[in-house]
Structure 1
Amino acid sequence: MTNRIAFQGELGAYSHEACRNARPDMEALPCATFEDAIKAVKNGEADLAMLPVENTTYGRVADIHRLLPQSGLHIIDEAFVRVHINLLAVPGAKLCDIKEAFSHLVLLPQCAGFLEENEIRGRVSPDNARAAREVAEAANPSHAALASELAGEIYGLDVLARHIEDTDNNTTRFLIMSPDAQLERRDGPHGMITSFVFQVRNIPAALYKAMGGFATNGVNMTKLESYMVDGSFTATQFYAEVEGHPDDQALRLALDELGYFTSYLHILGVYPSAQPRHV
């Protein structure tokens, strides 16, 4: 055991914040790509991986659903991070000094109102934590980064303005991945979630029939997303999440019925439903 949890991005990224919040006793291991984070677990450099799957502002994270089925890893938990954007600058700089603010492309529009009000020009950086690091290295008092407070702590930057995002509901959902499945029941106050992927058979109304078992057995499906497999317009795979544990009679019957209409069905994980999804 390494007692490490891998994530994509640099130290101070929101994924790093997710690691610290969900697994505070583990060392966070930064990785350049999602594939590298998965590989770090598979080759033993880390015990777990923290992967973002969706954000309330910009939707699902590209490539993750494609990577999950082929990763060989299992979902054992979910975590949520409220994305608070902060204006970070070198010590001694004042808000009136800031002329340019650097951050990831998806973060800049989320605080457009603040930037316009303070006549600050947004500049694109590949990563918000990298923006914080580079602002610290450049030591230019007219430059700032839009990032987490954690990034400010790591790179020695002052917080000139906190929580400057235009909306107050920007949240990212993460999945915690492990090489070992945890299929036992771990009911929390909000029950369990089962995640799986499947491909329907090439018969008329296959998807409609496949979903029928969940309706007739009273199983609540909280997510159903489709994506192409290997770039083919005719090979479609579905990612789904339902409430319940596979040992529950209702879900067991629904999955049995799903099996009749699918050519491929794989359970990715069974894990407690986290409290933030019920707020």
Structure 2
Amino acid sequence: MSFSGGRNRPPGHYRALMSAMLALAMGLCDAASAAPPYDQGGAVTLSPRVRFLPLEAQHDPVDLSARVPSLMNYRVIEAGTPMPQAYVVSGSEGRLISGAGDQIVARYVQGRPGQRFGLYTPGTLLKDDQGRVLGQVMIRQGVARLERQGAPLSTLTVEKSPREVSAGAQLMALDDWTPPRQLVPLTAPAGTRGQILDRPGAGRIVGLRDIVVIDLGRHQVTPGMRLRVQGEPEEVSDPVTGGLLALDGGVLGELMIVRTFEQTSLALVTRAGLPMATGDRVEATLDD
């Protein structure tokens, strides 16, 4: 019996093994030559790319369904249009504040039993930069149904009231405007410029999803148009020359036109990057 016979290998086996080892060594050499030359003191320059994903795609439909009730609560009486004459005198039993389900009495009501009226309180008187009156904001306190017309007082029932109905609230026939559930963003014409006139019933500071009034009417904008809110330029002092330099105010946010009137429009704030307020400028967007 030979103990060395089990270790004998055919010559072809060794040649195949040597070829495989040689191929592996050559591959390692190629990888080393292709790798960054860290051992030679070389430097590798990286060029990262940042992909910006906006909160809302610029051209996707904007869902307004959550804001429909609020949009129904604001309207503008155009300059030159007579103000409503009918007004609430009191609630039942002489109450000054009423709510849904309560009866109210009002003066100068013209209508038929069953007719529905909006109950409004005047908001901001809208004026342009030259002081010219553009219209009057009206804020709806509720909706009432006429039960009995009388002279001088008529009786109505408050059907719904997002706000308390107070004595002195003015009655207006409900308009036939229905807020859209969605709006497709549109490009405003180049050179479109205006300003935020009012944030109805809510002070000067403007934030995301707020409804605002701007001084651009139906002849300048249409529902769906996007406008950027532009910050005012500021002056800074040059530390070397001491002179004053103008610093761009930057883009504060973005809004979308929702409803147009003759000289004004309602808009929804769809983006808010920096604090905004009434009086800020609005312009055509830069990225269209």
State the TM bucket, normalised to the shorter chain: under 0.3
Please identify which structure carries the higher helix content.
1
Comparing both structures, which one devotes a greater share of its residues to strand?
2
Q: What TM-score does the superposition give when structure 1 sets the normalisation length?
A: 0.25
Normalising by structure 2, we get a TM-score of: 0.24
Indicate the structure (1 or 2) with the bigger Cα radius of gyration. 2
